[in-house]
Structure 1
Amino acid sequence: MTTRATILRSRAGLSRQDSDPLHPGRGQTLVEFALILPVMLLVLFGIIQFGLIFWAQITLTQVGRDTGRWAATQTVSPCSSGASAVQSQATALAGNSSLYGFPGYPVTATATWTQASGSSTCPPADNQTVWYVNITLTHDVPMVLPFLADTCTPSCKKTLSTSVQYRMEPQP
């Protein structure tokens, strides 16, 4: 004899076996999801963190290039205030270029001027001889993975650096 409940169950795709306690299977999906979720979140946050570090490295490289171009065309002799001027220019460019983690983690710039023959004395003020300016920038990028914040004290960070070299151009 077919009852109305049996007909409704068969139309809905349910059988008597699905509601039978001797045949478990109703919580299997939830358990599998609970096992896979941490791995999925780890991969997701890892992709996000990699993207942030990659973005910061590209931006830091661009700040280094712009700072190097600026330093290569200056008329002021770098003997007196060259390094501090490069640091202030790099800081200004980093602020304008939306460098990830910049306000909390500053950009450190070091600049050296070398002559093409190899001596490292200060270049003349006229920029007529071949001189090179070498700029190295370092910047710390904060880590965003939630579980790393508990293991790193006082803060988790990845140090990035970039170096550029430009020939100092003669003034027109």
Structure 2
Amino acid sequence: MTLSVQAASVKFPRRGQGLVEFALILPVLLLFMLGIMEFGRILFIYTEVSNTAREALRAAAATIHRGNDADRGKVTAAECNEILNRAYGTLALTPRTQVTITVEYVRPDPGSGSSTIVGVCSSDPAQSQLPTQVLVLNDQVYVEVRSQVSAATPLIRPFVSNLPLRFAGMRSVVPISGIAMPKP
């Protein structure tokens, strides 16, 4: 006697399975895409503020009044505004109101190792005090740019809120008379 067993084939309906899987993965996929976009935006603003500091430093080191009057070798208010406008000209996404630029002209004292601030040109008018002395060889310009960036996406704001950005740099001022070449 032979015993034969037949397997009953039961077909389960699979309609809608793809839709359920897509609905489960969609929020994760969207959060991942928003994170990538937000990271790119913050990185772009970081680069913008860095370029602003570089441009302000470049402009401040080379922009000195070149007239023949009493202000020769000094930084005037018009030149201070020119420095700030050149620096702000590098911004595309970051609003000007969120960026603070401070340019300090510093005279080092070789004997004591300290330095004194000769003048300040700032985007904050309360801090500005233009140099009253003529800038000479070995004077330096110190630029500091500060900003804050927060996430534009509400889902990411709790993780990235008011991220501070600060860039600073120092460079020697090139005086009007130029730099004397050493004798051979």
TM-score in same-fold range (> 0.5)? yes
Report the Cα distance in structure 2 between the residues aligned to 1:95 and 1:126, rounded to whole angstroms: 26
**Correspondence for 1:11:** none
143, 156, 160: which is aligned to 1:135?
143
The gaps in structure 2 that reach 5 residues or longer are 1-8, 66-72, 119-130, 178-184
Identical aligned residues as a percent: 25
Higher helix share: 1
* Alpha-carbon offset, residue 69 of structure 1: 1.3
User: 2: CA distance between counterparts of 1:95 and 1:121?
Assistant: 24
The reply on whether 1:65 has 2:62 as its aligned counterpart is: no
Q: Does 1:42 align with 2:31?
A: yes
TM-score by length of 2: 0.63
Scaled by the length of structure 1, what TM-score is found?
0.67
In 2, the alpha carbon distance for the partners of 1:24 and 1:163 equals 66
Matched, 1:89 2:108: no
Shift of 1:126: 3.9
RMSD (CA atoms):
3.2
Distance 1:93 1:30, change over 3 A: farther
Gaps of 5+ in 1: 1-16
**Counterpart check, 1:163 vs 2:168:** yes
1:120 partner SS: strand
Contact 1:111-1:135 within 8 A present in 2 as well: yes
Residues 141 and 160, structure 1, Cα contact 8 Å, conserved in 2: yes
Could you say what secondary structure the match of 2:106 adopts? strand
User: Equivalent residue for 1:100?
Assistant: 93
Q: What is the number of equivalent residue pairs in this alignment?
A: 144
